[in-house]
Chain A
C-alpha cells in the first residue's frame, strides 16, 4: 500500500526566507508525485508534478521539488517566501494498479508567512 508522510502540520517562515516543506512516500514502484496548494475556502490547485525524467521539477509561483528515489522524498522548496504563499500544501502520490487509479494525499502542511 502506498502512503504519504508530510513532516510538520504547521510551518512558519519569515517573508523572504527559504520555504521547505517535506514529503516522504512509500511505494513499491516509482510513482507519480504531486504537490497541491489550497487557499482558504477553495479547492486544491496543482503546483507541480513528477512523472518521469528530470528529477528536479519546477512549478508555478516559483516553487520546485526534487524527486529523490534513494530517500523516497519529494520535498517542496521556494527560495524566497512571499505573503501570498500562505496556504495549505498537500503532497500526493498516484499509483495505477489493475486498471485502478488511486491518489493518496498527505495530511497537509499549513504554511504561515510572517512579515
Chain B
C-alpha cells in the first residue's frame, strides 16, 4: 500500500508570494491533517479535513487555508508569505474511527526569502 505522498518536497519562495502544497493520503484514509514543524515551535496543528469538510483548526492566521477533494487528496495554501512561514509542512492521513494513528508523509520544506 502506497504511503502518504507530499509534493513538492522542497520549495523556495519570496515574501509576499503564495504557495500551494499537496498531499495524497493512503488509499482508504479519509482524514487528512496538516502540521507545521519549526525548530522553535515544534509541531503545530494547522487543520484536519474529513469528507471534504474542515473538522478542526489550529491557531493560525487566515493566510493559511486548505481544502480536501472528493478523492481525499488535500491541498493547503499559504498566501502573502512571511519569513516566519519557513518550515517543514507535514501531512498525515488516518482512518478516522479507529485508534486514529497518523501516517505521515515526508513533508514539504518551505523556505521563504
Cα of A6 to Cα of B90 in the assembled complex, Å: 21
| Alpha-carbon gap, A34 to B106, bound state (A) | 19
Interface residues of A in 79-115 (CB under 8 A from B): 90, 92, 94, 96, 99-108
CB distance from A94 to the nearest CB of B (A): 5
Where chain B touches its partner, the secondary structure class is strand
The count of A-to-B residue pairs whose CB atoms sit within 8 angstroms is: 60
Chain A contact residues: over half helix, strand or loop, or mixed? strand
Contact B104 A103 (CB under 8 A): no
Residue of B43, B56, B90, B104 touching A101 (CB-CB under 8 A): B56
Chain A: residues with Cβ within 8 Å of the partner, total of 25
- Contact at B101–A44, with CB atoms within 8 Å? no
Roughly how many angstroms separate A76 CA and B42 CA in the complex, as a whole number?
Answer: 19
Q: Mark A39-68, 1 if CB is under 8 A from B, else 0.
A: 001111110010100000000000000000
Contact with A along B77-113 (1 / 0, CB 8 A): 0000000000000101010100111111111010000
B21 at interface, CB cutoff 8 A: no
**Is the beta-carbon distance between B55 and A101 smaller than 8 angstroms?**
yes
- Total residues of chain B contacting the partner, CB 8 A: 24
Interface centre among B94, B102, B103, B104 (most CB of A within 10 A): B102
Residue in B closest to A44 when the chains form the complex, CB atoms? B104
Identify which of B31, B55, B101, B106 contacts A43 (C-beta below 8 A): B106
User: Is B75's beta carbon under 8 Å from chain A?
Assistant: no
CB B46 to nearest CB in A, in angstroms, measures: 12
Q: In the bound complex, do residue B100 and residue A43 qualify as a contact, i.e. CB atoms below 8 Å apart?
A: no
Residues of A at under 8 Å CB distance from B?
32, 34, 36, 41-46, 49, 51, 90, 92, 94, 96, 99-108
